[in-house]
Structure formats: C-alpha cells, structure tokens
Amino acid sequence: MEQEDRKSTRGAALEKSESNASGFDEPLSDRSRERLSEDRGIRNAGTRTIGHRPGGAKAGREMSFPVRVEAAPPPVERSIFPQILAALPESVRKLRGIIGSYRSESVGAKSIRLASPGSGCRVPGRGPRKSNDSGGPPGAGKERVRILSAEPLNAETPLAALEETLTPESEFFVRSHFGRPDRVPRKHVLEVVGAVEQPVRLNMADLEAMGTRTLAVTVECAGNGRTGLQPLPAGEPWGLGAVSTARWTGVPLRAVLESARLRPRAVEVLAIGADRGRPPDVADEIPFARSLPLAKARDPDTLLALQMNGRPILPEHGAPIRLIVPGWYGMASVKWLERLEVLSEPFRGYYQLGRYVYDYEDGNPPAPVRTIRVRSVIVSPQDGDVVRQGHVVVRGQAWSGEGVVVRVQIEVDGVEPSQDATLSPPISPHAWRAWEFGWDATNPGRHVLRSYATDAKGNRPPDVGRWNRYGYGNNAAQAIAVTVQ
C-alpha cells in the first residue's frame, strides 16, 4: 500500500540517511518516517468488509472477509481469525457457507483455509505468489492456519507459508494468553505514567504525528519447537510454525518516552496489554504485562506498531497498538498495548518471573527468556515428502536475535562435512534470511536432511535442545526425512 509521505517536523528532521542501531543499512523505504493516511489506512481502496454481527460472547466475535467493490466504505474493524474457527466440529460446519471451504484434521488441531487480502512478497528469484493477502486484490487464493486452541486463540503458521519473505496476515501465527479484548482504534488511548516528569495520554493521531518508521521483523514465540523436547513440557504444543515475519510501521518507543521525560531513577518500562485473565496457578485476574530494561526500550528499533504489512494491525495480532521488540522472543512484543509504566525498580509480575524463564530444574535460579536463539528451518521439501531422483532444491529460512545469519549448512544422512546453502540478501537486520540448497538426490531410498545456521556472533543450533520446565528456546537443528524415488 503506497502511502503519502507526510511527516511531522520532528519526523522530517530524522529523514537523513543513517545506519541502523545494529549497524545494518536498510533500504530507504524501510528507514523512512511516514504518516498514516487520513482514513488511518484501514483498508486498501476498492475493498470492503462483510460478515455477520456478533450475537454475544457465546456467539463468537465479528467475522469479516474482503471483497472487490468500486469504492471503500467508512473504516470498520476487520477480523480473519474469529474465535469460532477452532470451536466444536458443528461450529466449524456452520462456517462452511461463509468462508467457502474448510479442512479439519484429527490430530488435536485444525487447519482452516481463509480468504484474505494479499501480499505477493516472495524470496528473490522465485515466481509471484498466487495467494491474496496483506494488500493485494482479493482473488481465489485460500490461506491456512493450524489452530491449537480456540479460547484463547493460538494458531501456528503452516511450514509452507514460511517460504515467503513476508508472512501474510492470515498465516501469521497467533499467540494469546487471554481472550481478545475489544479495542476501537479511534477511541484508543495509550497512557505513559510512572517515573516520568510529564505523564501523557496519546491517541492514535498523537502517535501518528510523532512520525513513524518501518522495519521488517521476525517474531518468534518462545515456545516454538516445544514438541521437540522430551518429555513434553507444559504449554501450547507448538511445532515449528510459531514464527512469522512482517513489516511493522510504528513510532519508536524512545520518542514516546522522551515526550514524557524520564526521571533519573527510571530502570525499566512496563508494557501492559488490554487482555486480562486468570492463569491456572493465579487466584486474581491479571493483565498480560512485561517489562523492558531501559536500554532496550530506548533502542531506536523498538516500535509501537500501528501497521502490519502496510495495513492496520488485525485485532488478533494486537490492534490498534502492538509493541514490537526486535531480536527478543514474542512475549516481549505485547499486544493490545494500553499503558506504559516507567518503573524505578525491576518488575516482578507473573509473566516476568513466573513464566518466560529458563528453568532447567538443576538447582540454579531460573534465567529470563529474552534473545531469540539462532535457528534454521527447512520449509521445502517437508518431512515425509517423496521426491523424484535427481536435482532437488531444498529451501528454508534462518534467523537469530543475536545478529544477521551469515551461513547455513545442510547435512545429508549425517555425512560430514556439511554443505553450504546459498543465502538470499537480508531484508533487515531483524528478519530471517531465505536460503536454497541444490541437493543431488541420486540414491533412491530414505534420507535425513538437517540444516544449521550460524549468525554473525558465531552462534549455531545444537543437535538436541536442552529440556526446560516450560519448553522455551528449543532451537535444535531440524531434521526431516525425505524419500527419493
């Protein structure tokens, strides 16, 4: 979606070319400060939302699907991950006439195909994507998410979708701790309080006036790969699809903090979401809240995101404001952000100390979960596939919160040395890198492929992930079995 570059005086002053804080020079389009359109960019021209009105908490949330029309009506909230998607089978059947088709699997989760506006972004050198998501004209494409739980909604991205440079909105994984809160963008207000000289209340227009920037960022759930640990830890049974990449447009958190003027004793910034609930082992209702050290909060790449892939963020992904913390696991990127509290002492909340810690049950104190560990995933072919004898192109993605991935190696049947894959140019210091490997599959039979990524700091995945109580940070090298015929 093309946007008119209407910057504030402050944003214009920052327009000069500069290096990213991590030393990576991004394309000018990624470094620009931009303003949202007058209608807040709720949709591309030529689309409108249709659906049925919610009939109460038990009837499910509003569902809406884009169709081509001549002119766009007034902005309304759109949602492509209604709560009812993962409900009982009879509820799924009711959806068939609305979304056109569905597919359910009897493995404890469901795959649902959804039509949604489209992006078409692909790894350089490959053909255009046929699906329709994140800004392109609606068409016949159907997207799929794998639902792990209905309430709260948790859904992972299919491995095939990870091949895309940017993940379409309808395939972007969803992690929720509590039910989705109802937020109206035009009425939403963000509070900044605590150890500040000037508490502030900012509506969407106030944030937009501060000037925005756009970054491609890979977001990964800390529990991604949990099912690869034995015995299986408690928590959502994530495979390898709790990771996605999008272009996020928003206001640097640093600018908002500067407007409130931090007091000298400030040490952390607490981000509080609008979602609330009672965790199984907590008596009282609490919001989802996480704190950031002051240095991370002031990082110029830490954003208060207002848009995702050029469109306002979907409700399931944290609309209207989502904190985006590049390089850290997704629990730091608090959704439905409604309050920032500057603290003069470390936060000791449930999701800071009771969860999102590495507890190895070895007698040592748990360590906080923060930086994304280096990982490489093979997305094509997939585990169990049958391929024809001859040249096979193996594709995947690799990423790390410690730095840009500089090398990917492929191991076939445990034979050393591993062979280097070809890396595509990085699109951002905070996003995954696509890679390809030409495999000479001359020997018929079953073969095991493994991929290993190395980042700029020399980090490399282990062969076996280290078990921990909550199943976080399992970045063990992925192995897939492929049959050559």
- Interval 357-392: pLDDT, tens: 999 999 999 999 999 999 999 999 999 999 999 999
Quick one: which of 230, 52, 57, 223 has its CA closest to 154?
223
Quick one: which of 176, 141, 171 has its CA closest to 158?
171
- Token readout for 147 is 């639902």
Candidate from 44-48, 107-111, 159-163 with smallest mean pLDDT: 44-48
Give me the CATH number covering residue 269.
Answer: 3.90.420.10
Residue whose token pair is 């309430």: 151
- Choose the final residue of a domain: 123, 147, 171: 171
Candidate from 75-79, 228-232, 263-267 with smallest mean pLDDT: 75-79
Please tell me whether residues 234 and 275 are part of one structural domain.
yes
Q: Cα angle at 476 between 434 and 243, to 5 degrees?
A: 50
- Token readout for 211 is 């000037």
Give Cα 177 to chain centroid, integer Å: 15
DSSP string across 274-297: EEEE--TT-SS-EEEEEEEEHHHH
Please tell me whether residues 338 and 206 are part of one structural domain.
yes
pLDDT of 21 reads 40
60 pLDDT band, cuts 50/70/90, is: very low
Q: Whole domain around residue 439: which residue ranges? A: 375-484
At residue 181, does pLDDT exceed 90? yes
User: Does any domain span residue 180?
Assistant: no
SS3 30: helix
The DSSP code for 350 is: I
pLDDT of 280 reads 87
The span from the CA of 234 to the CA of 280, in Å, is 12
Candidate from 16-30, 182-196, 270-284, 423-437 with smallest mean pLDDT: 16-30
- Token readout for 347 is 């936060």
- Interval 106-118: pLDDT, tens: 234 444 433 333 3
Q: Which residues contact 396 (CB under 8 A, 6 or more apart)?
A: 162, 376, 377, 378, 379, 380, 408, 421, 434, 435, 451
Higher confidence at residue 460 or residue 37?
460
Please tell me whether residues 348 and 380 are part of one structural domain.
no
Please tell me whether residues 85 and 194 are part of one structural domain.
no
User: Does any domain span residue 10?
Assistant: no
* CB of 478 closer than 8 Å to CB of 378: yes
Please tell me whether residues 153 and 250 are part of one structural domain.
no
* CB of 353 closer than 8 Å to CB of 434: no
Residues 132-138: what's their mean pLDDT? 34
Please tell me whether residues 189 and 333 are part of one structural domain.
yes
At residue 31, does pLDDT exceed 50? no
Average pLDDT, the chain: 78
Cα torsion at 87, 92, 94, 99 (round to 10°)?
120
Alpha helices by DSSP H, listed for 157-316, are 204-209, 253-260, 294-297
pTM above 0.85, yes or no: no
Please tell me whether residues 389 and 447 are part of one structural domain.
yes
pLDDT of 117 reads 32
- Token readout for 468 is 């921990």
> What is the number of domains present in the chain?
3
Q: Cα angle at 67 between 64 and 71, to 5 degrees?
A: 110
Please tell me whether residues 213 and 126 are part of one structural domain.
no
Continuous segment of H or E residues that includes residue 248: strand 243-252
Residues 264-280: what's their mean pLDDT? 97
Candidate from 31-35, 217-221, 346-350, 407-411 with smallest mean pLDDT: 31-35
At residue 73, what is the residue type?
A: P
Please tell me whether residues 289 and 405 are part of one structural domain.
no
- Choose the final residue of a domain: 114, 141, 171: 171
> Which residues are bridge partners to 154 per DSSP?
149
Q: How many helices (H) and strands (E) does the chain have?
A: 6, 28
Please tell me whether residues 215 and 295 are part of one structural domain.
yes
